């Protein structure tokens, strides 16, 4: 069964509130706020680190599939 994370930009609290209400009680969906730190200059970037660029997007959807 697939589970979906809806990740909202930390600056967009209104969208987070709206999506939280819209997906409340729906199995397999979870709305969260992006809580990653903004400053990555303190440590060198590793090529294996996830490269998430927001661009103009206000939210992202990630799918997690559980193995059989």
| Domain locations in the chain as residue ranges | 2-37+53-65
Using one digit for the tens of pLDDT, what is the confidence trace for 42-60?
566 665 555 566 778 888 8
Q: For residue 22, is pLDDT > 90?
A: yes
From the CB of residue 8, how many other CB atoms can be counted at a distance below 10 Å?
Answer: 22
**Model pLDDT, residue 39:** 55
From the CB of residue 31, how many other CB atoms can be counted at a distance below 10 Å?
Answer: 21
Sign of CA dihedral 65, 38, 53, 24: positive
**Model pLDDT, residue 17:** 96
- Taking CA atoms, 7 is separated from 13, 31, 42, 43, 64, in Å, by 12, 6, 24, 24, 13
Nearest Cα to 63, choosing from 24, 16, 30, 25? 30
């Amino acid at each position: 069964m697939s589970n979906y994370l809806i990740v909202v930009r930390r600056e967009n609290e209104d969208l987070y509130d709206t999506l939280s209400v819209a997906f409340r009680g729906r199995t397999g969906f979870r709305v969260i706020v992006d809580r990653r730190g903004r400053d990555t200059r303190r440590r060198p970037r590793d090529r294996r680190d996830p490269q998430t660029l927001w661009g103009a997007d206000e939210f992202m959807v990630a799918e997690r599939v559980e193995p059989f």
